Amino acid sequence: MTQRLSVWKTYKLYIGGHFPRTESGRYLKVRDHQGDFVADICRASRKDLRNAVVAARKAFGGWSGRTAFNRGQILYRMAEMLEARRGGLEDRLVSVVGYSRSEAAAELDAAIDRLIWYAGWSDKFTQLFSATNPVSSPHFNFSFPEPTGVVTILAPRQAPVLGLVSAIAPVIVSGNTAVLVVDGPAPQLAVELGEVLATSDLPGGVVNILTGLREELIGHVAAHMDIDGIASYGTSTEDRTKLDLGAASSVKRVKHYADPEAAVWRTDATQSPYRILPFIEVKTAWHPMGV
């Protein structure tokens, strides 16, 4: 009688809708809350970052060109697929991160609900951030939002699933594309979230996920000339300064957020249509009045 061996999983990157290995061939070991080995994950390099930005830029035109209603439908589909995969993710939150079963269920509930919440805003935030402006000339003057472009997210380290969803949804719902840099206690859950996205209707390249060391990539993120915005979570004062100074050369938008504990991530304080605002460009158009 033969004995069957378990298949150990090597978590890869998620770039352009595919799961490539890091070009550097380097890996990091993930351990659970008790210090036991869980899995190998890729240690993304500068070249991996460049590949992810290329994929995000390629996807930007098609994604931003979709109707707001369609983007909302796709975010809703992401929630459906996350619901279908929740059992395995709950198990990982318990065994790897050390959540109780009830805490893991609460995090997945909140993550699914948050995707649906932002899906509902997809065709409504424009009304909130648009305006008809009074001008002293025979013109109509309109201000309206458009997506910024490619946004890099230095992902939250708390709430490994809910934090990621809360960071991604307000960036992509307006038509931006995203590159996530993920570290923290359970970065492999980000790749599992990538597997959820790959089986939803989200086009490849809209969300790209790099696991590795934030301190190794942060300078390259700040200096990259084809990244239009940076959202950083739980970043130190030193790293904030590095991001702000590096981003100034290409006039990137940079928004720093706190990274609260998991229980706070589940509250309404961490979701708002105003989290969409930092990565939209409010543009103004003039139109002559008819006679």
pLDDT in tens, 175-186: 999 999 999 889
Handedness of CA 140, 144, 150, 153 (dihedral sign): positive
**pLDDT greater than 60 at residue 15:** yes
**Which residue in the block uniquely carries the two structure tokens 């959202």?**
231
pLDDT of residue 227 exceeding 70, the answer is yes
For 25-57, what is each residue's pLDDT tens digit? 999 999 999 999 988 999 999 999 999 999 999
Identify the residue with better confidence: 8 or 101: 101
- What domains, with CATH codes, occur in the chain? 11-288 (3.40.605.10)
Model pLDDT, residue 95 = 93
57-64: average pLDDT:
98
What is the number of other CB atoms lying within 10 angstroms of the CB of residue 18?
A: 14
CB atoms within 10 A of CB 279: 26
